Structure 1
Amino acid sequence: MSQYAGVANEDSINLSRSERKRVRTRSWKLLAALAGTQKPMLALTLVLVVVSNLARVAFPLLIAWAIDWGLPQVRNGNWAALGITGGAYVLAAITAGSLLGWYILCTARISQAMLLDLRLDVFRHTQRLSLEFHENYTSGRIISRQTSDLETLRELLDQGISELVSAGVFVVFTLISIFVLDWRSGLVVLVTALPIWLLFGWYQKRSELVFRESRVVSARVIGSFVETMTGIRAVKAFRKEKSNDAAYSQIAGEYRDNSIRSINLFGVLQPSLVLIGNLAVAAVLAWGGFRILDGELGVGVLVALLLATNRVFQPVENIAMFYQSLQSATAALEKVSGLLEEAPTVVEPAKPQPLEHAAGALEFTDAVFGYGDGPVIMEKFDLAIPAGQTIAVVGQTGAGKSTLAKLIARFYDLRSGTLSIDGVPIEQIANNDLRRHVVMVTQEAFLFSGTVAENIALGKPGATIEEIILAARAVGAHEFITALPEGYDTDVNKRGGRVSSGQRQLISFARAFLADPAVLILDEATSSLDIPSERAVQRGLQTLLGNRTALIIAHRLSTVQIADRVLVVHDGKIVEDGSPAELIGSEGRFAALHRAWRESLV
Structure 2
Amino acid sequence: MRGGSMGSSGFGGMMGGMRGLTSGGMHSPNMDNLTDEGIVGSAYDHKVVMRLITYMAPYKRDAMAAIAAVLVYTVASVSIPLFLLFGIKWAVNEGEMWRLHMLGLAFLGVAVIYFAANYLQFVYMPKVGQGVLFSLRTHMFNHLQRLSPSFFHRTPVGRIMSRSQSDVLQLQETFELMVQSVADLLSLAGIVIVMLFIDWRLALVCMSVIPALFLVLGYWQRFARRSFMRIRRAIAIVNGEYNQNITGVRVVESLNRQDENLKHFDELNQEHLDANLQASRFSGGLQPIVETLTGVSMGVVVVLGGTMVLDSALDWGVMVAFAMWIQRFFEPIRNLTMQYSQLQR
Is 1:117 the counterpart of 2:135? The answer is yes
Is 1:171 the counterpart of 2:188? The answer is yes
C-alpha change, 1:20 and 1:323, in structure 2 (3 Å) is: closer
**1:213 pairs with 220, 223, 230, which one?**
230
User: Deviation at 1:203?
Assistant: 2.5
Structure 1, residues 462-481: CA drift from partner, whole Å, max 9, x if none? xxxxxxxxxxxxxxxxxxxx
**1:301 pairs with 318, 321, 324, which one?**
318
Aligned to 2:249: 232
The AA in structure 2 aligned to 1:98 is: A
Cα distance in structure 2, aligned partners of 1:65 and 1:101: 27
**2:51 pairs with 24, 30, 33, which one?**
30
- Trace 1:461-476 onto structure 2 (pairs within 5 A): none
Alpha-carbon contact 1:270-1:317 (below 8 Å) kept: yes
- Trace 1:92-241 onto structure 2 (pairs within 5 A): 92-158=110-176, 160-241=177-258
Cα distance in structure 1, aligned partners of 2:104 and 2:122: 27
Aligned to 2:62: 41
Aligned to 2:42: 20
Alpha-carbon contact 1:141-1:220 (below 8 Å) kept: yes
The AA in structure 1 aligned to 2:231 is: S
Alpha-carbon contact 1:179-1:186 (below 8 Å) kept: yes
- Trace 1:398-417 onto structure 2 (pairs within 5 A): none
- Trace 1:516-535 onto structure 2 (pairs within 5 A): none
Alpha-carbon contact 2:195-2:322 (below 8 Å) kept: yes
Unaligned 5+ residue runs, structure 2? 1-29
Unaligned 5+ residue runs, structure 1? 1-6, 329-602
Cα distance in structure 1, aligned partners of 2:32 and 2:60: 34
Tell me, what secondary structure is at the counterpart of 1:303? helix
Alpha-carbon contact 2:202-2:301 (below 8 Å) kept: yes
Cα distance in structure 1, aligned partners of 2:150 and 2:201: 65
How many aligned residue pairs are there? Answer: 314
The AA in structure 2 aligned to 1:216 is: R
The AA in structure 1 aligned to 2:46 is: T
Is 1:58 the counterpart of 2:75? The answer is no
Structure 1, residues 366-403: CA drift from partner, whole Å, max 9, x if none? xxxxxxxxxxxxxxxxxxxxxxxxxxxxxxxxxxxxxx
Structure 1, residues 41-88: CA drift from partner, whole Å, max 9, x if none? 333322221122101111111111111221133x2xx32101111011
Aligned to 1:84: 102
Cα distance in structure 1, aligned partners of 2:189 and 2:33: 37
Structure 1, residues 529-560: CA drift from partner, whole Å, max 9, x if none? xxxxxxxxxxxxxxxxxxxxxxxxxxxxxxxx
Cα distance in structure 2, aligned partners of 1:288 and 1:296: 9
User: Deviation at 1:115?
Assistant: 0.8
Alpha-carbon contact 1:168-1:315 (below 8 Å) kept: yes
Aligned to 1:314: 331
Cα distance in structure 2, aligned partners of 1:148 and 1:238: 33
- Trace 1:180-579 onto structure 2 (pairs within 5 A): 180-328=197-345
Alpha-carbon contact 1:115-1:154 (below 8 Å) kept: yes
C-alpha change, 1:9 and 1:292, in structure 2 (3 Å) is: farther
Cα distance in structure 2, aligned partners of 1:25 and 1:81: 52
Cα distance in structure 2, aligned partners of 1:213 and 1:86: 53
The AA in structure 1 aligned to 2:114 is: A
Cα distance in structure 1, aligned partners of 2:47 and 2:158: 23
The AA in structure 2 aligned to 1:60 is: P
Alpha-carbon contact 2:129-2:173 (below 8 Å) kept: no
Alpha-carbon contact 1:149-1:215 (below 8 Å) kept: no
Tell me, what secondary structure is at the counterpart of 2:312? coil
Q: Which has the higher helix share?
A: 2
Cα distance in structure 2, aligned partners of 1:319 and 1:259: 21
C-alpha change, 1:108 and 1:58, in structure 2 (3 Å) is: same
Structure with greater Cα Rg: 1
The AA in structure 1 aligned to 2:42 is: R
C-alpha change, 1:193 and 1:89, in structure 2 (3 Å) is: same
Alpha-carbon contact 1:178-1:309 (below 8 Å) kept: no
Tell me, what secondary structure is at the counterpart of 2:195? helix
Consecutive aligned runs of 4 or more in structure 1 exceeding 4 Å deviation = 7-10
Alpha-carbon contact 1:188-1:283 (below 8 Å) kept: yes
Cα distance in structure 1, aligned partners of 2:123 and 2:315: 40
Alpha-carbon contact 1:148-1:218 (below 8 Å) kept: no
Alpha-carbon contact 1:14-1:209 (below 8 Å) kept: no
Cα distance in structure 2, aligned partners of 1:102 and 1:245: 48
Cα distance in structure 1, aligned partners of 2:165 and 2:42: 24
The AA in structure 1 aligned to 2:306 is: G
C-alpha change, 1:131 and 1:323, in structure 2 (3 Å) is: same
Cα distance in structure 2, aligned partners of 1:14 and 1:144: 15
Structure 1, residues 89-134: CA drift from partner, whole Å, max 9, x if none? 1111111110121122111221111111111111111111111111
Q: Which has the higher strand share?
A: 1
What TM-score, normalized to structure 2? Answer: 0.84
User: Deviation at 1:36?
Assistant: 4.3
Cα distance in structure 1, aligned partners of 2:33 and 2:185: 32
Aligned to 1:552: none
Compare relative contact order (CA 8 Å, sep 6+) and give the higher one, 1 or 2: 2
Alpha-carbon contact 2:206-2:297 (below 8 Å) kept: yes
Cα distance in structure 2, aligned partners of 1:215 and 1:88: 50
Alpha-carbon contact 1:217-1:255 (below 8 Å) kept: yes
